[in-house]
Amino acid sequence: MKIVVGLGNPGRQYEGTRHNVGWMVLDRIAERAGWSGKAKARDAAAVARGRHGDLDLVLVKPTTYMNLSGLAVRKVLARERAPLADMLVVVDDFALPMGRLRLREEGSAGGHNGLRSIIGEMGTQGFARLRVGIGDPGQRAVDHVLSRFGPSERADLELVLDAAADAVEDWAREGTSRAANRWNPWRLGASDVGGPGHGGPVEATDPTLPAPPTLRIPEREGKPDKNGIVRTLTGWRKLLPPGRRDRP
């Protein structure tokens, strides 16, 4: 059983804000697993659990507000009798450009209050975390993280959520190191299937690194149009040419 904790703030006023990207990633995984709307209030969190493909997952969204996230994490780990090695925390990071992913086995809070709370409660920095870039503030950090994604960012956000969800599943299946090697080079932008500003593969500058993956395509609804655009379970996607798609 793998535990995935997505950090965010409860309440309608925080829905869709950059600080809630951790919750959004868990919502994307729940959509794929068919668990949307099935979370139960438990251990100061909204918790959904079950079998997703070949994975046994517990998805945890602390409802304590960001600064007290550690309380929910401590309770969930105690209830599940799970070691820290089986937990991944998904958080937003304004030090990373929009869409960049950083998966690490351990590290400091880096100024993130949710991570600081977890480190304080657990007494260690030794747990995996996936940081999801939300872009440079260009203004007061508090104003930025509590702002919502603009219209021009929403298409990119869908791609980022898919990439982050794939990274979480790879972490659960293969471990932090292999998932990090695969997903830390991924970025929005150049040499992709949708042109500038859309997600897709990038050329590896270091030949020793694995090529960044393309996004997995969920079960489709309908057929692609003449431009290769297809409606999927999580939005509209432009399909990669045959031979360039990852196999689930």
Amino acid letter for position 131: R
pLDDT above 70 (res 196): no
pLDDT in tens, 157-166: 999 999 999 9
Q: Which of 220, 221, 217 shows the shortest CA–CA distance to 240?
A: 217
For the question of residue 19 being annotated catalytic, the response is yes
Q: What are phi and psi of 160, to 5 degrees?
A: -65, -45
Residue 148, token pair as written in the block: 């919502």
pLDDT-above-90 percentage for the chain: 59
CA distance 47 to 25: 14
- Which CATH superfamily hosts domain 2-177? Peptidyl-tRNA hydrolase (3.40.50.1470)
Sketch the domain layout of the chain as residue ranges.
2-177
pLDDT above 80 (res 220): no
Q: Which is the catalytic residue, given 19, 52, 112, 144?
A: 19
Return the pLDDT at 221: 46
pTM over 0.85: no
pLDDT above 80 (res 180): yes
Q: What are phi and psi of 194, to 5 degrees?
A: -120, 10
Residue 239, token pair as written in the block: 């399909």
**Reduced to 3 states, what is the DSSP secondary structure of residue 60?**
strand
CA distance 65 to 128: 21
pLDDT in tens, 73-125: 999 999 999 999 999 999 998 888 888 999 999 999 988 999 999 999 999 99
Region of 67 (left: φ > 0; alpha: ψ -120 to 50; beta: rest) is alpha
